[in-house]
Structure 1
Amino acid sequence: MTAVDLPAIPRVLVAESDPWVRETLSDLILGVRADIEVEMCSDGKQAVEWMKKNVPNLVIAARELPVIDGLSLLRGIRTLRRQPPIPFILISNRNDSASVREVLPLAPTAYLTKPLNTDGLRQRLESLLLERRAPVPGEMPALTPGLTLTKFLDKRRDVADGAPLFIDVATALRLSQGAAGIDAALLEQELRNDPHITAALIAAANSAAQHLGKPVQTLGGAIAVLGGTQSANIVTGLSKKRMAVLTDDALLAQASQLWAMSQRTADYARILGRMLELDIERCFCAGLLQSLGDLAVLGCLQEWLLAGGQLTEDVIKKALEEYSAAYGSALRTRWRLPLELRELIAAVYQYNTGIYTREVLAMNLAGQMARLGEHETVTTLVKTKSAKLLKLSVGDLQRLRKKLTGITDPSLLAPVVAEAPEPETPVEDQGETDLLDITAEPVDPGIASAEDPAVGVQDLPKT
């Protein structure tokens, strides 16, 4: 291939079966040059078919590709004898000397082993992709004439996969360093209050662990499957997206409200989970992830601004009202979050009539507790289906609220009015519980809304 053969817009072919490694590679490439066309393939056959019609400026392929492996792909490209040779980065799970020696005669540009060193790979990409043009990191293409915000958000709904991040990733990774590199336990502690990072790592872990047959539903479980280094690589990729840091005060104000709401819901869910002997971490994650759709909308509004669009507070609120549910549903479906986790996220706001698990009821009650205003009383919540079926009294809810927020419920200051007892709803006897007997975990400081229709579930087992 001669310089004349180079396409006007550089093309990079990424061939990798793991969707989250593909995502990381795409983020790295676009972070180096935003004008590049990235073609994504999940197996070697797709890559071959694409190259029959296109000449890439760079190929990044996994050695362990299905159908046609990456080594065969490299061998096929080298038999074309193009000059200069097409740059080819081969990535692999194998780092033994025999595997490396097998590749050397084919002259790959680089042979990288997983988990990837993203900093080192970024430097290689810069040397390969910035020779012909100045870097344009973070560039956002200008809006096309006549494109309205409504049309923009409609188009982005099925592809949007980024959102503003609550934590500072660089600081979190630095604080997660142990003697032997990234410490998984420290990493979980640093990341656990960020909704978007939590969802992304859970989705990535389920993609990586499909053969295990048991879905991952917590941040700790995700990091255990991915390992500290790969988790850190994914999080670093998320932090490089254009919408990761909000630049508009009105968008940041909305994001802060969402982060605060999700954190309150997650903390209520954790305490209720401990009280009712449920999966505490799964309840916490479900509460935290209620804001996925809202945050994804804010991320797209950030892109709209960067492309030259205009926003007002009213426009932002209207966009959240109209698009959050659809964005959240599309994102959870595309990321294939486990159904059980999606049911709990949905329960934060609503559930269908029927029979419910204790987790569903606890999540619904946690959401209602989190939405209470400072001057609102819990007495209205004790009459809800969730509180009744869980057999929680006004006193239980008052103590739960004070334990988490320090707020003394206004109903404690009002005169007591006796009410006629209501007939009990038939339900499996679960025993009385009292929050005075609960030793709750310390509430993490930190500060996040909801979608999906609720799903009918089964009777009230303990787990």
Structure 2
Amino acid sequence: MPASPARPEVLIAEANPWTADLLVQLVLDVRGDAVVNTVTDGHAALARCRRKLPDLLIADGELDGLDGVELLRQVRRHPRTPALPFILISRRTDARSVREAMPLAPTAYLAKPFNAELLRQRLKVLLRGSSEKEPEYKRPALLINDLYEYLDSVREQGQGAPLLDDVRNAVATSLQAHDADLGELEKTFIRDPQITARLIAAANSAAEHVGAPCQTVGQALQRLGIGRCLNLVLGLAVQRNARLSDERLMALSAPLAEAAMRGASLAAWLARRLGLDAELCFTAGLLHNIGDLAVLRSLQDWQDAGGVLSDEQIAAAQKSHSAKFGSALRIRWRLPFGLRELVAAFYGKGSGVFSREALVLNLSAELLRGEPLESVAESRPARMLRLPTGLLEEIPQSLVPPPAAELVSEAQ
């Protein structure tokens, strides 16, 4: 397709919301000014093409109603559409299926799970042309003038936390290594709250859910497989607001990231010593302040769109909206209820019967607040757990902050 300075229109036909979101992010990474429309079945895609042809069509080979190959066949029958770029993504890679599609001249025939990085390189050629400079991306103007109204408006649709800078290089390396084993990927991804939450959510989506819900990165990796996990992480990495550029917001994100890892590691250490599910406690501890990080990302969006952002507003926004953002994310991503309960237990919320893992999270929160060990040993979670004598004194110093450290509260 000839490169054009006009905004390209891209149609994505994909029923799986996680894959659709990845494809949207890849397109926008190449052309930030692209107009991207998504549909979930072949008939809807064909109807859109009949109303107005896109500049590029990306379709799942196994669409409901009208599958990808038949959609391609219908599109190619029209005298105006033979040159329409069409990327077909299918799990049918046998010789017969490929021979059926090749006479219809798909621009690319990709096998599932596809290599998202290679697809991104192909999109650069299709949407921009190899000699063109990337068009300047202009963010839309703000429609709301008040910061706190803006935060309320984006809370339910927010993309979550930014990816943490200290894992970016490791993630970039993993994205190039499709022969990496699950263990190595888990070591890389388990350090980032955003990656952890999104992989667990994707593994528990309607399209993937079989058996017990996934509650840890390890379980999600097993269910999704290496290829799909790498693609989901790439989709996060290429989002335009995935990195904080304001130095004040970056400075705030560092201690939040440290607190997330400390909470995760402490909860896992206690759980391991008590013979409980250490991996699950690690996950809950890692996600306890994802709302704080998500607010920082939305504040960056506000500023990038032209909004004024003072130090006082940053502090007030975190205080007033972190809990709301965290709760909205955990619910919208449909994280397993048991995992959400553990995150809530970090803040002592909820009532009724507490699991021993929930008590570990609550105890971890007390320790991270810098409470004296004598006081923690007499606390309700410590008594209910019946901690062995001297266990608290054995906690590695690296996992417990100085007594003056404070914990930013976030309710379920």
Shift in Å, 1:92: 0.8
1:391-438 per-position Cα deviation (integer Å, ceiling 9, x unaligned): 23784333336473497x89xxxxxxxxxxxxxxxxxxxxxxxxxxxx
- Cα distance between partner residues in 2 of 1:47 and 1:85: 17
Instruction: Look up the equivalent residue of 1:300 and give its one-letter code.
Output: S
Shift in Å, 1:144: 3.4
- Please give the TM-score of this superposition, normalised by the length of structure 1: 0.80
- Cα distance between partner residues in 1 of 2:341 and 2:274: 18
Which residue is 2:341 aligned to?
A: 343
Equivalent residue runs for 1:20-419 within 5 Å: 20-83=18-81, 85-131=83-129, 134-136=133-135, 139-144=137-142, 147-166=145-164, 167-174=166-173, 181-207=179-205, 210-372=208-370, 376-392=371-387, 395-400=390-395, 402=397, 404-405=399-400
1:229-280 per-position Cα deviation (integer Å, ceiling 9, x unaligned): 2212221221112222221121012111211111111111101211222111
Distance 1:116 1:297, change over 3 A: same
SS in 2 for 1:210: coil
1:13-34 per-position Cα deviation (integer Å, ceiling 9, x unaligned): 1111222211211110000111
SS in 2 for 1:40: strand
SS in 1 for 2:334: coil
SS in 1 for 2:287: helix
Q: For structure 1, which segment, 379-388 or 26-35, has the greater mean C-alpha deviation from structure 2 after superposition? A: 379-388
Distance 1:153 1:112, change over 3 A: same
Matched residue count? 408
Shift in Å, 1:44: 2.3
Over the aligned positions, Cα root-mean-square deviation in angstroms equals 2.9
Distance 1:110 1:296, change over 3 A: same
- Cα distance between partner residues in 1 of 2:125 and 2:366: 53
Shift in Å, 1:384: 2.7
Shift in Å, 1:100: 0.7
> Is contact 2:18–2:202 with CA below 8 Å preserved after alignment?
yes
- Cα distance between partner residues in 1 of 2:202 and 2:161: 16
Instruction: Look up the equivalent residue of 2:86 and give its one-letter code.
Output: F
1:42-100 per-position Cα deviation (integer Å, ceiling 9, x unaligned): 22233344445443221101001123211122122122221563211100112221111
- Cα distance between partner residues in 1 of 2:55 and 2:174: 38
1:194-243 per-position Cα deviation (integer Å, ceiling 9, x unaligned): 11111111112222763412211111111122222221222122111222
Instruction: Look up the equivalent residue of 2:372 and give its one-letter code.
Output: T
- Cα distance between partner residues in 1 of 2:298 and 2:138: 12
Shift in Å, 1:154: 2.4
Instruction: Look up the equivalent residue of 1:339 and give its one-letter code.
Output: F
SS in 2 for 1:13: strand
Distance 1:229 1:170, change over 3 A: farther
SS in 1 for 2:109: strand
1:270-301 per-position Cα deviation (integer Å, ceiling 9, x unaligned): 01211222111011011001122121111111
Shift in Å, 1:169: 3.1
- Cα distance between partner residues in 2 of 1:80 and 1:282: 54
Structure 1, unaligned runs of 5 or more: 411-447, 454-463
SS in 2 for 1:12: strand
Which residue is 1:428 aligned to?
A: none
Distance 1:449 1:45, change over 3 A: farther
Structure 2, unaligned runs of 5 or more: none
Which residue is 1:433 aligned to?
A: none
Distance 1:171 1:262, change over 3 A: closer
- Please give the TM-score of this superposition, normalised by the length of structure 2: 0.90
1:318-343 per-position Cα deviation (integer Å, ceiling 9, x unaligned): 11122222222222222211111111
Shift in Å, 1:38: 1.3
- Cα distance between partner residues in 2 of 1:211 and 1:267: 28
Instruction: Look up the equivalent residue of 2:134 and give its one-letter code.
Output: P
- Cα distance between partner residues in 2 of 1:2 and 1:53: 22
> Is contact 1:176–1:187 with CA below 8 Å preserved after alignment?
no
SS in 1 for 2:69: helix
> Is contact 1:290–1:450 with CA below 8 Å preserved after alignment?
no
SS in 1 for 2:89: strand
Q: For structure 1, which segment, 200-209 or 64-73, has the greater mean C-alpha deviation from structure 2 after superposition? A: 200-209
Q: For structure 1, which segment, 158-167 or 341-350, has the greater mean C-alpha deviation from structure 2 after superposition? A: 158-167
- Cα distance between partner residues in 2 of 1:238 and 1:154: 23
- Cα distance between partner residues in 2 of 1:449 and 1:161: 21
- Cα distance between partner residues in 2 of 1:68 and 1:100: 17
> Is contact 1:350–1:364 with CA below 8 Å preserved after alignment?
yes
- Cα distance between partner residues in 1 of 2:308 and 2:287: 28
- Cα distance between partner residues in 2 of 1:100 and 1:109: 13
Q: For structure 1, which segment, 319-328 or 144-153, has the greater mean C-alpha deviation from structure 2 after superposition? A: 144-153
Instruction: Look up the equivalent residue of 2:186 and give its one-letter code.
Output: E
> Is contact 2:42–2:66 with CA below 8 Å preserved after alignment?
yes
Distance 1:2 1:255, change over 3 A: closer
Shift in Å, 1:103: 0.3
Shift in Å, 1:173: 4.4
- Cα distance between partner residues in 1 of 2:381 and 2:263: 15
Percent identity of paired positions between Structure 1 and Structure 2: 43
